[in-house]
A and B are shown apart, each in its own frame.
Chain A
């Protein structure tokens, strides 16, 4: 049974000044601060001012590859809906606070059963989710599937074997694959799958207007490959292989266009200095560079063989048999 007790003692309690429940009026606390809310509104407006005024960036970078462009487009569409919802909620919130103040004599409405409002609100949210999902999946093929590019016969490789992780593949199947290997704290790029395939560090050189598939791996800890203008980031995970692709437009000049980025997953103390860049050159220039790189590597190997032999003769190093 509920406890039923008379209240005479309580009444005395309630009437005492300290415990006066009924007499606490809003006016004893604060006066309306319309100005501060106007300041808030002005602040919000200022922060939403055109991006150029602040030299800030409001969309992901693009321009280096169709997938980066498609991601930026998708981002803009989603953000459009987001801004509408955001402004709607903020305007409603600020309007309510300004309009329904007890100090201006506003009287609270009686509670009403408004299940229609709730159902409408929920259905609206479900509809928005459906629209966002539809927009995403309509735009998805542009992001995941490369378009046909200018094929380079010498480097064309067949698609990788079946894997759970899908390998990007243009409709005509013509692409080149560059292996990207992350390790503390440098990126290595291998152009081909042979032992003597040319390689480079930190800066990748890649042909323009060609579908370049990146096969991303790591040797020690997890890294993340990210050149913003060439598309999203993909983790380089030891023991696994990840893929992405890009197809860059023709470079403006002979030196090529350079797109920069850096490792995006914490990989140790020098994570900040694990930089990466991609120099896009014409396919012809790419072939020239590849041959030159091969020669440079061979020369450097020869040089190190000679140095080793010299040091071995001088007795400074032992037990090292230089490769013939």
Chain B
């Protein structure tokens, strides 16, 4: 096949590997703008979305500063509403979904032994659409940012109650990032279907790639619906239609149905890949075989499917027939079953293992540990009479940070710590990585655990101030204090990413003894990734390759 591979010893005919050191090609900086390499685009995705994550975090810090003491006048009501709108929109549309897309762009082809995604130019388009969406939203900083929340419910978001064009910018953000996510999801699915390495049957596709398939299916099914709702809102605002205007026969609850048809799966677009990451990391660092592959796949499909029929769990306080609430409560409770299977798979990966305690394991185990608490409070949110008390309060703020933000912080950081050597060719500082983990873990729990209590005491979300008679001062102070610990941890992890890119120890292709073929190629991989595409003979091809290398070494 390739003339660059030496033919000599026929003793190990099954073994194939990379061999060739290509002459380094000097690339100009402009290549970042023209590239269709899935790895370069993946890096751009990850750097961009992580930058948005830091900006969204800074917005959250300003929110926590304002709420630190009662009757605070640090931030005006208008700016406060803009802050939480920007925070939510940034984290959901510019960090969570595109970060998963970015990880997918980089890792999915490598995991299945492909040299690129199925549609490389489409991949580039996805990235540039994402960036355009982010630039559109953040351009409003120079005018008037949107202030109707990341959910932008009409009538508050219509032309009467949100007159500034910031709300239109939010709609463009939604549509641009939505289009980006849809195109990227189509690309990922097409890549898995068409570009798998020889021998990689569906049963041998790695767990993270499987989770990306579920993620992509959710994006393709649910996002167009909500993007349609956003466009209808755009028409209501600018062209005199009245889809959501009750005074002209429209329905505000219609918007909520359409929005949450996407909004509910959006949580699972983060949670399912986070579980995919956690399972891969825990299996590798537990030195185990993924024994629950079938169960995990079924759970991914079940969780994704159920998330598409449980949007009404966000609308229990809206005027609805009681039967509808019962239906959505039962369907939402059923989601517990696949979640239990996924948590069980994570536990099983560590049980009876031979655990190597490196930083990716910390983050993956941290995700499981934190998420389980969020799963418990999610059950409370799904039972509609209890939701009547806890929804739209700080209890709910805490609940979705324990689930979705846990996926975004612990899940994504587990992935970035795990694959960082592959991205850069260098190891992260383990000391800094573990220190940042403990800061993030402690800061996260101090910030959000206490918020459950605030919600039960009656503190609604999205309020810019509270009085001294509320009795919420000490809890808010603790939460604000915790957010600073969390922020220091995030900044420390960011510093680690930056310093290790040049100063980290050289990693080699397979520093963790990984199981999947992305560890087969050099770190960072050359432009074409695989000089020779390995033949896959099991769920864990790298174990086979390592075993062959050892046998070859013994013979020689």
Contact = CB atoms under 8 A, between A and B. Distances in A.
B247 A238 contact: yes
Given A3-B16, A8-B6, A129 B390 contact: no
A254 interface: no
Interface in B388-445: 388-393, 430, 434, 438, 441-442, 445
Q: Which of B199, B291, B458 has the most CB of A within 10 A?
A: B458
A305 B16 CA distance: 96
Contact of A108 (B286, B434, B449, B553): B286
Nearest to B4: A9
B506 interface: yes
A104 to B, nearest CB: 9
Given A8-B9, A55-B474, A118-B292, A272 B252 contact: no
A240 B253 contact: yes
B267 to A, nearest CB: 19
A55 B358 CA distance: 37
A19 B532 CA distance: 18
Contact of B333 (A33, A132, A165, A228): A132
B385 A232 contact: yes
A58 B377 CA distance: 12
A177 to B, nearest CB: 16
Contact of B156 (A4, A7, A221, A240): A221
Contacts of A51: 453
Nearest to B368: A93
Contact of A93 (B18, B350, B392): B350
B319 A268 contact: no
B247 A124 contact: no
Given A4-B16, A71-B385, A108-B354, A14 B336 contact: no
Interface in B450-476: 450, 452-453, 456-458, 460-466, 474-475
Interface string B321-352: 11000100110011011001101101110111
B533 interface: yes
Interface string A290-308: 0000000000000000000
A100 interface: yes
Interface string A118-137: 10011011101100110011
A233 B317 contact: yes
Contacts of B329: 133, 136
Contact of A232 (B19, B292, B358, B389): B389
A261 B372 contact: no
B8 A8 contact: yes
A11 interface: yes
Contacts of A195: none
A287 interface: no
Interface in A129-185: 129, 132-133, 136-137, 139-140, 143-144, 164-166, 184
B532 A5 contact: yes
B475 A75 contact: no
Interface residues of B, number: 129
Interface stretch (A22-30, A198-206, A316-324): A22-30
A282 interface: no
B350 A100 contact: yes
B354 A107 contact: yes
A8 to B, nearest CB: 4
Contacts of A50: none
11 contacts: A5-B532, A7-B548, A11-B556, A101-B357, A102-B287, A117-B348, A221-B153, A235-B319, A237-B252, A240-B318, A272-B466
Given A89-B347, A92-B351, 19 more contacts: A4-B14, A5-B532, A6-B6, A6-B13, A29-B358, A56-B450, A57-B457, A96-B347, A101-B357, A108-B353, A121-B341, A126-B337, A166-B321, A220-B155, A222-B156, A228-B389, A228-B456, A266-B461, A271-B462
Sorted from nearest, which 9 A-B pairs have the closest CB atoms? A232-B388, A239-B246, A272-B463, A82-B376, A125-B340, A2-B535, A111-B289, A56-B453, A109-B352
Interface of B: 1, 5-19, 77-78, 81, 147-149, 153, 155-156, 161, 198-199, 246-247, 250-253, 286-289, 291-292, 295, 317-322, 326, 329-330, 333-334, 336-337, 340-341, 343-344, 346-348, 350-358, 361, 365, 368-369, 372-373, 376-377, 379-380, 383, 385-393, 430, 434, 438, 441-442, 445, 449-450, 452-453, 456-458, 460-466, 474-475, 506, 508-513, 532-533, 535, 546, 548-550, 552-553, 556
